[in-house]
Structure formats: C-alpha cells, structure tokens
Structure 1
C-alpha cells in the first residue's frame, strides 16, 4: 500500500513501520529462545517461544504500548519483548552470553537488510514514501541494536557480560535489573546523553547506506495524524 500510494500514504507508512517493528521484535526474541534451546534450555519450546508468535513474547504495556509510544514520539526502538530463559540449564558461560548477544545481532542484520536496496539506488525518486518508511524502520533497528548492547542491568548488553562479573558485583546488579529501563529513559531524555546516542546511530546508518533525509522523512510520515 505504501509502495503503490494507496489511500493515505502517511497511514500506509505507519502500518509498514509498525508491522516491520513487530516482525523484528519476534525475530529478536526467537533468536534468544532458539539459542537457549540449542544450549540446553528446552523449556523455551513448551512456553511457545519458538513459534514466532508475537503474543508469546509480549507484555501489553512493556512490549506494545511503551515501544510504540517511543517510536511515534521520539523515533527510539525500545527493546519491548521478553522471553524467560532458564540460564542454569544452559551449558557454559559462553553459551549463556551468546543467548543475550544474538538478539541485538538480529536487529543489526535486519537493519543491514533494510539498507541493502539503498546501496544500488541511494536516492530512489519513485515511491519515495515507501523508501522513507523502509529507511526509518532500518534506523529503528540500529537504535534497538545499540540500545540493547548497553551494559545496563535488564538489557542484553548486561546479559553478555553478566557471566564474567565478580559474584558480589553480579548480585548487586541483578537486583537493579527492574530499574534498568528507567535509567535508559533518563539517559535518552537527558539532552547530552540523547545527543551522543543519536549521533552514533546516525553515523551507523550513514555508514551502511541509509540516507539521513529518508530516515527523517519516514519519521515524519508515520505521524499520520499531523
């Protein structure tokens, strides 16, 4: 619909971006679950985490409402889904770290896939709204990937290094995991912190070939009510 310009182009791009974001959330969480399953935690299959069903990964507030709100208001791809992993059933520290690492890796790979068409035609003139939506969706993948790699309790970046921390540090930081996202919100809304974060994201987008003006156009288009 966005490609053909059917009906309200803004609403079409909104559906494209939101639908693509839900797909990326499912792939992100499936990667966690599949890696855990291969590592020894077979309970993820019983919980339905290997089905790619978004209802198995989501919490209404944390997985849908807040991430969509941040996408619409600030263009931030929040990590919204969650799968419960029995890390004690997974053999080896490296495997447990890999479970956390594959989620952000999926976002980065998805972002690269969305950037690939722009390598051949960096400024497509036809169907511009569609390409703008695609570029903005790619931008969200890099925000989610980078955000998830921060070594903050509650994020995948902490899960990567968690196994290698001294026991006292780990015990203290594990207790702080419920507050990790609050710290992320504060960091992003703090002007210097948000500026540095988005500067890095835009640098990554330009590095892989996502045109910044298309990203900005896509961000504007999804606000179909304006």
Structure 2
C-alpha cells in the first residue's frame, strides 16, 4: 500500500512514517504542508492520504475539498486534535473517509488502514504507462526512453501525468494551471506555456511528429502512438 502522510509536526511525522513502514510494511511519502500534499496526491498513485487538519499553506480539509472537486477517488483520513462532533461532521462532509483524533495509537491507525484497504475505492491509475519508446512510472516518478532515464521536474512530471490521463483530449491552459498550480496560485498562462515547452523538448525527436500539439488560443493536446 502506498500512503501519503501530510503532517507538519516533524517529530510526529517522522514517528508515524517509521511505524507505518516498519509495522505495516507500507510505502510512505511524507510532506509537511498542504500545497505539497495537493501536488503529491495529484502527481502520484496513493492508496490512502493521511492529512493533518492544521498545517501550513493549506489545511487538510481544504486539500480534501480540492481533491474531491477533481473527482479524486482514493481514501482520505483526517488527523487532528479537533474532537468535537461538529468538527468530525465538518471533516467528513468535506470528503474525508475517516477521522482520527490526536493523540492516537499506531495500532489503531493500522487497523483503520486495513479497513480502508478492504473498501471498494476507485481503481488506482496504472503505476506504469508505456507509449512509443517511453515508459512512465508513477510510483518511482520516472520517465525513460528505451531504458534511459529522462529527468523531469516535479511540474513536468505532473503535466505529463495529466496529459497521459487525457490522451487525444484538448486541455485548456486554465485546466492545466488549475491541475498543476491551482487557480488561486500567483502564476500566469506563461508559466503553463513554458512548462509545456520544457516537457515537449524532452519528449520530441527531431523530424518526428510531436507528442504535444498546440491548439491556438485554447491549449494543448497530447497524442502519441502506444
């Protein structure tokens, strides 16, 4: 099971990551703020997100709302010291599947993860996608061409994943900006165009048909033979 842990308390985050990996045998990525949690959740295939309610840049409830607004189908658990019934209702109404009050025992968290694993959540995206001479692995966050690794920035990685989920469809600049940066971020469509160009340069071969097509005045379309 792949887990994303978003917790700004360094001591607690380190402990939870260690115990989940040691006792549960899970793979755990750990981030310390809400914006990173949103980026990681959108850019990688996780079975469960563990989101601290109160963390910098974006709280766990807002991360949850944003993901559910994107039709994110994987399990989300809120971790928080807020323990009133109204707080629990608020968190669950935001789209969380479970709610665990701090302080908690690791064994209880492991038990809840086992329950979530048995539920029928939306199918995970395939960990590995092959197109043309390329292999894109979501788990390792790697792209390779004929076995040779191509270095991608985090934004390029997210952009390629977004394109691969929408092969043949036109993606507007607005939809790309929202998916990669968030509409509330202080970036422009120029950032989108620059990131697309950098990714295109890494994918295209001279003289070959480009994978990313510009749709004038609208956005981009990704096309490549499997």
TM-score relative to the length of structure 1: 0.28
Structure with greater strand share of residues: 2
More relative contact order in 1 or in 2 (CA 8 Å, sep 6+)? 1
TM-score relative to the length of structure 2: 0.28
Larger Rg: 2
